[in-house]
Amino acid sequence: MILVTGATGLVGGNLLWFLLQENERVVAIRRPTSNLEPLRTIFSFYTNNPDSFLNKIDWKIADVLDFESINQAMSDISVVYHCAAVVSLGKNDKNILDTNVEGTKNVVLAALKNNIKKFCFVSSIAACGKNLDNDLIDENAKWIESPNISAYSRSKYDSEQEVWKGINMGLNALIVNPGVILGVSGSNSGSSKLFDQVRKGLIFYTNGGSGYVDVQDVAKAMILLTKSEISGERFILVAENCSNKQILNWMADGFGKRRPFIPIGKNLIQIVGFLSEICGKIFRFSPLIDKGTAKSATSRGFYTSQKIKMVLGFEFNSIENCIKEVCTFQKKELSI
């Protein structure tokens, strides 16, 4: 039996869809307060009858921060996909470290206790190292400590360390490091928030960029790797290295909107992020841009997925096509 954590999120929800195509039933955990509507939206991207697939999920009430509930949920489970995480480039709150690090520690220990046969952990390129010689960043790039490391990057790196500890204790596990993940999530957070902003009209862009990947490719790669004999390794999942301008242009084209045409410099956006963060703390709201997101918007990283291409012959969907598919779906859902 297969168990998925983070089942109502972007990666977990899309992963569930692909697992259900191969398995009659899949176990997924959720908290008592979890909203299942985002998952229905994700399934609606693939089928006109999402409820017929939602009914195939065996839900178990559990929280990654509660070891006993996770331990009980893994009873009779053979394969675990750990997708649960708080994804944020800006917030520096305790919730990120708790969920991402302590949560992963609990899931790993429960997997060891229940003799799980295969364990797949979703990390991020944010946990990858840097190449000082400007070469493409791969799985062997060394992590370099810095006071400028974001709370999210730190949490994903520390989470990976918990998985490596589990591997050293005998856990048959592997790690995937996706780039910025694009796809249908059913919520207005992460990359979905960016789609929403462009759909409403966005005239500004920044000169940063990163590695991007279609969530469908993330799910497919995870399943293929977990079915393989591979263990104790990590794989970067990046389809293309794109500039922010490219991504926004493709989104604007997909919604039939004008492309962003006003560049924002690094200094200006950092000032905006700093002031927005202060206002958010004073008036108790979550700003669209804060210091963390401002820094991310102006940085640039280049990654390679040559390892998974060589090992599995894996081929990625183009980012332009991925964005086009998401825009088409959203326009249909919103009747625009």
Domains and CATH numbers, the chain: 2-183+211-239+302-318 (3.40.50.720)
How far is Cα 89 from Cα 190, in angstroms, rounded to an integer?
A: 9
How far is Cα 290 from Cα 275, in angstroms, rounded to an integer?
A: 8
Q: If you compute the radius of gyration of the chain from its CA atoms, what whole number of angstroms results?
A: 19
Q: What is the pLDDT of residue 186?
A: 81
Q: What is the pLDDT of residue 274?
A: 47
Distance of alpha carbon 49 from the chain centroid = 26
How far is Cα 71 from Cα 318, in angstroms, rounded to an integer?
A: 39
- Whether the CB-CB separation of 139 and 303 falls below 8 Å is answered with no
Tokens of 148: 């400028």
- Whether the CB-CB separation of 213 and 178 falls below 8 Å is answered with yes
Residues forming a β-bridge with 58: 27
Which string of b and e fits 104-122 if b means at least 16 CB within 10 Å?
bbbbbbbbbebebebbbbb
How far is Cα 33 from Cα 55, in angstroms, rounded to an integer?
A: 19
Q: What is the pLDDT of residue 285?
A: 53
User: What's the average pLDDT block by block, 10 residues per block, for the chain (336 residues)?
Assistant: 95 97 92 90 96 95 95 96 82 71 97 97 94 84 84 93 97 97 86 89 89 98 97 97 96 96 68 53 56 56 95 97 97 81
Read off φ and ψ for residue 171, nearest 5 degrees: -75, 130
Which of 163, 203, 215 has the alpha carbon at shortest distance from 45? Answer: 215
Tokens of 4: 């998925």
- Whether the CB-CB separation of 306 and 106 falls below 8 Å is answered with no
Tokens of 187: 């919520």
How far is Cα 180 from Cα 168, in angstroms, rounded to an integer?
A: 29
Evaluated on CA atoms 77, 42, 67, 69, the torsion sign reads negative
List, as one string, the DSSP characters of 191-211: HHHHHHHHHH---EEES-EEE
How far is Cα 148 from Cα 167, in angstroms, rounded to an integer?
A: 29
Which of 163, 225, 190 has the alpha carbon at shortest distance from 18? Answer: 225
Which string of b and e fits 265-304 if b means at least 16 CB within 10 Å?
eeeebbebbeebbeebeeeeeebebbbbbbbbbbeebebb
φ/ψ region of 137 (left if φ > 0, alpha if ψ in -120 to 50, else beta) reads beta
| DSSP 3-state of 2 | strand
Which of 109, 108, 127 has the alpha carbon at shortest distance from 119? Answer: 108
**pTM, full prediction:** 0.91
| DSSP 3-state of 120 | strand
